[in-house]
Structures are given as structure tokens and as C-alpha cells.
């Protein structure tokens, strides 16, 4: 079908926003300002990442608990298996449950040192599928997991990665959120494969609005995401023009979302990097309006 005009988008999408736990008071203020701006868009949930190797255990907990207690948002905590026994993960899960948190994004995680290989804790979970099973046995959490349209870098094959996704969903996860990607076809081809594999859970595209192209290229190389050559061309010469770079970023991400919308996608997960402007603008182009304004 032809892409709809932005003006015709009815706002019939659901969105979620991902944040990371702040390290300093300044970053904390930035996070809360972003949450304040994005809250009126009534996201389905917001999630807070877990630092590599479990390095942000306390900070992730405190941020998620504060969102759950002080905002109307449904807060989800990312949790990984790295460097923790099953008993320790159980304690973390209990603390979330006691704080009123009902949604976990369950991941295997990566080791703290960049490029290192994952070694399960001797008494720990070997991967996300086992973690999902363990969490659900402990409490009836809503669980989201990861999915990789362009295949996880350590996967033996695209098929074994897909089998792994199916195991995570069969273990009780109800949705998958994808690694970021820039090629809508990569997502749609992957969706076809999941349907052929009998997966019916929602595979929500993870949208990364690019604020720093060089950093995005480095990250993309580590996680197997193709960066199309036209993107380099679009960011060329913008290093000293941050405002124009933001406009170009928003245009690229909005176009990606528009193509996904045209293909039937109605759920979008935004990697906000704790800034609201780009995600807010893209949601606006998708037809979402602040709830209070719409009600008025
Ligand atoms: P898994 O699903 O366990 O898979 C890991 C690898 O093992 C894959 O290659 C898979 O194919 C393979 N595999 C698993 N089981 C088998 C099997 N039985 N046989 C053969 N192969 C198998 N990282 C963080 O540290 N903190 C975060 O907060 C965080 N949030 C994320 C959010 C999203 C939406 C995404 C997409 C990723 C996130 N990550 C995060 C990154 C993630 O931890 C890494 O990508 C990690 O390398 C894999 O985690 P996973 O949960 O996808 O692993």
C-alpha cells in the first residue's frame, strides 16, 4: 500500500520508551525531564536498562521503582543473567515485585568487558530463555524479550537464533522488542520468518533515533545492524550543525516508522537515550498527541 501522509495518521499506535539509569545528578535531571515530556503520550510502558555485567543493579532498581511510584506509567525493568546466581536473580525479582513492578525485560546480557564472551555464572542461568522460565516461576511477571531481525552476532545461524526466540516466547514471554535496525525490509523479512515458525507474539520494532552518527556506526557494527550507505551521506557535513542534525535524524527515523506503519506495524519501542525531543517529534508525526490535549 502507498504510505499515508503524516497528516492522515490517526494516532492509532502504541509506543514504549527505553531509558538508562542516570549516573549523576545532571543526568538524573535530564532523565526526569524526558519522562515528564513523554508521559502525556501515554506510553504502553517505559523500561530502564541494566548495565553490562549487572553494573547498575541498584540504579536500575531505584529508577524503575521511582517511575512506578511517582508517575502514572507502567515501569519495566531490564534484567540480565550476567554475573549472578539464580538465587541472586530471585532476590532482585522479589524486590521488583515488592516495589509494584510487574514487567521485566529478560535478557542474557553481555559481559562487562567489550568484546568478551558470555560465561554463565556457575549457579546461574545460561541464557534469556532459562531466565524467563525462572522469573515466571517466581512471580507472574509480564515478560518481554529481545529479537534480532539481522541475527544476533553470536548466533550459529539465523535459524538457531529464531529457534531461541521461540524458546523464550514458549517459556512465557509475551512480546519481543527488536534490536535497532535501519532497513524496514530486514524487519519485514524477519517478521515473515517468525510467522512461518508459528510465532504469534508481537515483535515490536526498536527504533533508534540517531543523534551521533559515528557512535551509532560503532554500536551497529557490534550488534550486526546494517547501516545503509545513504545514511552516511545524509549525516555528511553535519558534525558542527547539531540542530540540523536533529532535524535529519528525526526525518530518517520518522520515515522508517512511516514505512513500518504502512506495513501494518502499530507498536513502536523507542531507544530514547534519555532525551525526549526526537522520540516526541517522531511520535507526533505518527499522529500521537498529549493525552490531556486530546481529551480537551
Ligand atoms: P539470548 O536470547 O539468550 O541469546 C544469546 C545468544 O545465544 C544468541 O546468539 C542466541 O541465538 C544464542 N542461543 C541461545 N540459546 C541457544 C541454544 N540453546 N542453542 C544455540 N544458541 C543459543 N544488554 C544489557 O546488558 N542490558 C540491557 O538492559 C539490555 N537491554 C536490551 C534490550 C533490547 C530490546 C535488546 C534487543 C538488547 C538488549 N541488551 C541489553 C543486549 C543483550 O543483552 C545482548 O544482545 C546479549 O548479547 C544477548 O542477550 P539476549 O537476551 O538477546 O540473549
Does the structure show a pLDDT above 60 at 208?
yes
Query: Ligand 1: which residue has its CA nearest to atom 51?
Result: 107
Please report the pLDDT score of residue 112 as a whole number: 79
Does the structure show a pLDDT above 70 at 247?
yes
Among 271, 268, 231, 225, residue whose Cα is nearest residue 251: 231
Residue with cell 532497513: 183
Cell numbers standing for residue 24: 549523576
- List pocket residues of ligand 1, CB cut-off 6 Å: 49-50, 52, 78, 80, 105, 107-110, 127-128, 146, 152, 154-156, 160-161, 164, 168, 177, 179, 206
Q: How confident is the model at residue 98 (pLDDT cuts 50, 70, 90)?
A: very high
Interval 170-187 mean pLDDT: 98
Interval 221-247 mean pLDDT: 95
CA atoms within 13 A on the CB side of 191: 17
Please report the pLDDT score of residue 293 as a whole number: 56
Q: Evaluate whether ipTM surpasses 0.90.
A: yes
Under a CB-based contact definition with an 8 Å cutoff, are residues 46 and 20 in contact? no
Residues facing 267 on adjacent strands: 14
* Mean pLDDT over each residue of the chain, to the nearest integer: 94
The per-residue pLDDT for range 258-279, each reduced to its tens digit, is 999 999 999 999 999 999 999 9
Query: Ligand 1: which residue has its CA nearest to atom 33?
Result: 146
Cell numbers standing for residue 7: 497528516
Give me the sign of the Cα torsion angle 189, 192, 198, 201.
positive
Which contacts of 210-213 are long-range, i.e. CB under 8 A and separated by 24 or more positions? 210/235, 210/249, 210/252, 210/253, 211/245, 211/246, 211/249, 211/273, 211/275, 211/278, 213/238, 213/245
Q: Which atom of ligand 1 is nearest to the CA of 79?
A: 28
Quick check: is 18 catalytic? Answer: yes
CA atoms within 13 A on the CB side of 276: 17
Does the structure show a pLDDT above 70 at 294?
no
The per-residue pLDDT for range 30-77, each reduced to its tens digit, is 999 999 999 999 999 999 999 988 889 999 999 999 999 999 999 999
Does the structure show a pLDDT above 90 at 136?
yes
Residue 71: strand, helix, or coil:
coil
Q: Which atom of ligand 1 is nearest to the CA of 180?
A: 36
29 C-alpha to ligand 1 centroid (Å): 30
224 C-alpha to ligand 1 centroid (Å): 13
Q: Which atom of ligand 1 is nearest to the CA of 206?
A: 34
Please report the pLDDT score of residue 49 as a whole number: 97
Among 4, 101, 121, 100, residue whose Cα is nearest residue 53: 121
Q: How confident is the model at residue 295 (pLDDT cuts 50, 70, 90)?
A: low
177 C-alpha to ligand 1 centroid (Å): 11
Q: Which atom of ligand 1 is nearest to the CA of 144?
A: 34
Interval 171-181 mean pLDDT: 98
Which contacts of 216-221 are long-range, i.e. CB under 8 A and separated by 24 or more positions? 220/180
Does the structure show a pLDDT above 90 at 11?
no
Does the structure show a pLDDT above 90 at 296?
no
Query: Ligand 1: which residue has its CA nearest to atom 29?
Result: 49
Does the structure show a pLDDT above 60 at 1?
yes
pTM of the model: 0.97
End-to-end, the C-alpha distance of the chain in Å comes to 33
15 C-alpha to ligand 1 centroid (Å): 22
Please report the pLDDT score of residue 292 as a whole number: 62
Number of helices followed by number of strands (H, E) in the chain:
11, 9
Phi, psi for residue 274 in degrees, rounded to 5: 65, 20
Please report the pLDDT score of residue 187 as a whole number: 98
228, with CB counted inside 10 A (0-12, 13-18, 19+), is exposed
CA torsion angle for 222, 152, 190, 201 (degrees, to 10)?
-120
Express as a percent the part of the chain with pLDDT over 90.
Answer: 89
Amino acid at each position: 500500500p502507498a504510505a499515508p501522509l503524516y497528516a492522515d495518521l490517526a494516532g492509532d499506535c502504541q509506543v514504549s520508551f527505553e531509558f538508562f539509569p542516570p549516573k549523576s545528578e545532571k543526568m538524573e535531571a535530564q532523565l526526569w525531564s524526558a519522562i515528564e515530556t513523554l508521559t502525556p503520550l501515554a506510553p504502553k510502558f517505559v523500561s530502564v536498562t541494566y548495565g553490562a555485567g549487572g553494573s547498575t543493579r541498584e540504579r536500575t532498581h531505584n529508577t524503575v521503582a521511582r517511575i512506578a511510584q511517582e508517575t502514572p506509567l507502567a515501569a519495566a525493568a531490564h534484567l540480565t543473567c550476567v554475573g549472578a546466581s539464580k538465587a541472586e536473580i530471585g532476590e532482585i525479582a522479589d524486590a521488583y515485585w515488592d516495589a509494584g513492578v510487574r514487567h521485566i525485560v529478560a535478557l542474557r546480557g553481555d559481559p562487562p568487558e567489550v568484546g568478551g564472551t558470555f560465561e554463565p555464572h556457575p549457579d546461574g542461568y545460561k541464557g534469556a530463555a532459562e531466565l524467563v522460565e525462572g522469573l515466571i516461576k517466581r512471580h507472574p511477571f509480564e515478560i518481554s524479550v529481545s529479537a534480532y531481525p539481522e541475527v544476533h552476532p553470536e548466533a550459529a545461524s539465523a535459524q538457531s537464533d529464531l529457534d531461541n526466540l521461540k524458546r523464550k516466547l514458549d517459556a512465557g514471554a509475551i512480546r519481543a522488542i527488536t534490536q535497532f535496525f535501519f532497513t524496514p525490509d530486514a524487519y519485514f523479512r524477519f517478521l515473515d520468518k517468525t510467522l512461518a515458525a508459528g510465532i504469534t507474539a508481537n515483535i515490536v520494532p526498536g527504533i533508534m533515533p540517531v543523534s551521533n552518527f559515528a557512535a551509532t556506526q560503532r554500536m551497529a557494527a557490534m550488534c550486526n545492524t546494517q547501516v545503509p550507505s545513504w545514511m552516511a551521506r545524509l549525516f555528511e557535513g553535519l558534525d558542527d550543525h547539531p540542530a540540523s542534525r536533529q532535524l535529519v535524524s528525526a526525518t530518517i527515523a520518522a520515515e522508517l516508522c512511516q514505512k513500518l506503519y504502512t506495513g501494518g506495524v502499530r507498536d513502536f519501542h523507542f531507544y530514547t537515550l534519555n532525551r525526549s525531543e526526537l522520540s516526541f517529534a517522531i511520535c507526533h508525526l505518527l499522529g500521537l498527541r498529549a493525552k490531556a490535549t486530546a481529551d480537551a
